[in-house]
Chain A
Amino acid sequence: MQDNPEFNTPDFNCPLPLHSTDHILMGHGGGGKLMQQLIEGLFLPNFNNPLLNQRHDSTVINLGDTRIAFTTDSYVIQPLFFPGGDIGSLAVNGTVNDLAMGGSRPSYLSVGLIIEEGFPIATLEKIIQSMQAAADHAKVQIVTGDTKVIDKVINRNHEKSHGSSLFINTAGIGIVEHKMTLAPRSIQIGDVILLNGDLGRHGMAIMALREGLQFDSPIVSDCAPLAEPILALLEQGIPIHCLRDLTRGGLASAAIELAEAANVEIELTDDAIPVHDTVRGACEILGLDPIYVANEGRFIAIVPPDTVEAALSILHQFFPQQACVIGQVRSKAPNIDRGYVTIRNSLGVKRILTLLTGDPLPRIC
């Protein structure tokens, strides 16, 4: 081949930067940077108030002498039934967990159903019964609700979905029975990050089902209520500084949000983060990182270092051999202005974690 001295000046052109999209993308609901932009650029400026600006899973409100936690969440999952749960149990557990993350005792839920015309009553009945079973398990009551029926929905394959769509909104109220402030602003340098179990089960269970991926042992969602172990920690005097459940965006996104809000470094230890072999294998196949994958029964608790042993022994009653220490809160490097998350691997190398743009996309090869 001839030398090509002009090789680095080819007819190359670079794409223009994409301007902010004028349409909502699926990524806006993915728990990553696009969603953050939507919240910071649209919702917070318009709804601006101190309670909303807490930016927590649930808002703690003082009503006279009573403190309540208040939250809402919507569930649009497809398929409606998955290994380890269904949209009904997910809607109850998800909102119960958001209340629990505020350190409250979940008490009352509302249920808003948006049902596509043609949806089978028998399927609806199954989901409603599942919701009640989940509510019984989480010791909450479903006390109010609403039902709307909509015309045919176009599904993800651009086809009318023939009466198979159901969307659920649940709002919840919990009673706060302590005086502590469980929030990013309570996080202290030296605090320890506890995790209650292995990561990535829910996200990979759904992805495997959607994409028809089969594994030797099927991946079962971790969908579960988390109020009981958290209330046990609080009742036994563990001074929890902050809690966060690890739903959309997984551990990484939750930790980044907390680190930025608290203006600290959260250092995670890669080897300490438990991931089941089947989940890890599925993630490897799809080129996904388990620390970004959604969970529905996992949370981190940020506690003072002298309470770690006591906290773990309580958590082990609920999550035997699962709950563990995965990191620590540190002072930021002086050259970085905002809080961030690092992960230290077994080689001793540290790197910074970043928010994904939107939903994780499988890599080509």
Chain B
Amino acid sequence: MKYLDEYRNASAIQQYAQAIADITTQPWTIMEICGGQTHTILKFGLEQLLPTHLTIIHGPGCPVCVTAIETIEQALWLAAQPPVIFCSFGDMLRVPGYDRDLLTLKAQGGDVRTVYSPLDAVKIAQANPDREVVFFAVGFETTAPATALAVHLAQQQQLTNFSMLVAHVLVPPAMEQLLAAQNCQIQGFLAAGHVCTVMGYGEYETIASRYRVPIVVTGFEPLDIMQGIYHCVQQLEAGTAQVENQYARSVQPQGNLTAQSFMQQVFEVCDRSWRGLGTIPNSGLRLKPSYAQFDTAQRFALPTGKPPSDTLENVQENVNDNANSTCISGLILQGLRKPYQCSVFGTKCTPEHPLGAPMVSSEGACAAYYHYQSLTHSHPSTSS
């Protein structure tokens, strides 16, 4: 298959594994940003091909995982309102709020529909003029242009029954937050190829020079990842800190200007709370005031409360290294721990009962480890 088989060629991947081993003279720690890359690394077992002193850590690059629990609660509240048709990407349906998820709510009678694009939600709004159609707009810069296009279409069609619960997040501020942390171990990044396809990599050049980290814009196939790691190690060994573009077949330096233009017309930057990481300044997108009619928050009195007090002590994450029974997803999202180093991984915390954000989506680091276990890191549910 064009653009697939050649990037899964075992011989080429092995050659890069050897090349990485040949140039790696000391321990290095590289973070891949995107959940799609995490998925590939684990599915193809790429870590097993790398030198043991080269550490790959998995970043907070799964938009499903990082959507704030308060936002999930708002989504659940909306989906429970009788006039609402709640439209969402499929993998958001399993994300737990405090005590349920959208799949459960659907079973209880909520009108929750899986869509593949925000444009599908616009069509549903056209077809159901007597219903309130809400689209759950999540994702990084990759999905934001389609959301912006949907807003344009809704405006063109003068839809009065269509709105969005917007939870878009931006990658560069999260990278900066990670790099600014005192205990940061990240020495190089593989940047997310799809995000850069939209945004280009100008912002990353600023980050690379400010924090002295090499950043390689990387694709999602196994050979892409190996090439990205190779270029990153090459820079680390040489002591350089530049942005390189491994994913040139998709990414141009300036990105997709049309998509950016749509985003700029519709969205403005705002602070955003990330599940597992807290609030990161200027890391989110929200609708501009001129598009307020499409903002769900303007149309509904959304709940903003915290969970019932009797559950609060159970939902506080324990970030201490000696956590003995609770989720350490904050540490995992920062790359400070591996999922299998969590005491509840695979026992109390599974994809059916996720305790933390990274176990929620298949792109989350914990879920990826759970689904793509090696025999070395098999989880207790396999070995009990």
Contact = CB atoms under 8 A, between A and B. Distances in A.
B276 A16 contact: no
A11 interface: yes
B63 A14 contact: no
Contacts of A34: 352
Contacts of B363: 363-364
A12 B320 CA distance: 13
Given A18-B104, A345-B44, A352-B378, A365 B139 contact: yes
B108 A354 contact: no
B181 A361 contact: no
Contacts of A67: none
B96 A16 contact: yes
Interface stretch (A79-87, A129-137, A277-285, A311-319): A277-285
Contact of A33 (B46, B278, B352): B352
B111 interface: yes
State the majority secondary structure of interface residues on A: loop
Contacts of B33: none
A281 B3 CA distance: 11
Given A7-B182, A365-B63, A17 B36 contact: no
Contacts of B182: 3-5, 7
Contacts of A8: 181, 183, 319, 330-331, 334, 336
A132 B273 CA distance: 59
A249 to B, nearest CB: 14
Contacts of A179: none
Interface in A246-261: none
Nearest to B381: A354
A347 B1 contact: no
Contacts of B111: 157-158
B62 to A, nearest CB: 8
A2 interface: yes
B110 to A, nearest CB: 9
Interface residues of B, number: 95
Nearest to A345: B44
Given A8-B334, A351-B372, A362-B116, A14 B94 contact: no
B285 to A, nearest CB: 15
Nearest to A19: B99
A308 B98 CA distance: 53
Interface centre among A13, A19, A24, A340 (most CB of B within 10 A): A13
Contacts of B94: 357, 361
A146 interface: no
A1 B371 CA distance: 37
B371 A354 contact: yes
B362 A287 contact: yes
B1 A281 contact: yes
A26 B107 contact: yes
Contacts of B311: 16
Contact of A10 (B63, B183, B279): B279
A25 interface: yes
B374 interface: yes
Interface stretch (A70-78, A228-236, A294-302, A329-337): A329-337
Contact of A340 (B43, B176, B382): B382
Interface string A266-304: 000000000001001100101100000000000000000
A9 interface: yes
B116 A211 contact: yes
Given A4-B177, A347-B44, A157 B352 contact: no
A27 interface: yes
A46 interface: no
A336 B382 CA distance: 7
A333 B375 contact: yes
A24 B383 CA distance: 28
B142 A363 contact: no
A9 to B, nearest CB: 6
B352 A357 contact: yes
Interface in B2-50: 4, 8, 10, 13-14, 36, 42-46, 48-49
Given A14-B316, A361-B90, A364-B92, 8 more contacts: A15-B357, A25-B103, A33-B352, A345-B10, A347-B14, A349-B46, A361-B91, A365-B139
**Cβ-closest 9 pairs across A and B:** A10-B278, A349-B45, A346-B10, A361-B90, A7-B181, A5-B182, A17-B353, A23-B107, A15-B96
Interface of B: 1, 4, 8, 10, 13-14, 36, 42-46, 48-49, 63-64, 69, 85, 89-94, 96-101, 103-104, 106-108, 111, 113-114, 116, 138-140, 142-143, 176-177, 179-183, 194, 222, 275-279, 307, 311-312, 314-317, 319, 326-327, 329-331, 334, 336, 348-349, 351-357, 361-363, 370-375, 378, 382-384
22 contacts: A1-B176, A7-B177, A7-B278, A12-B276, A12-B278, A14-B316, A14-B327, A17-B349, A18-B104, A21-B107, A24-B107, A25-B104, A335-B378, A338-B382, A346-B8, A347-B49, A350-B374, A351-B373, A358-B103, A361-B93, A361-B94, A364-B363
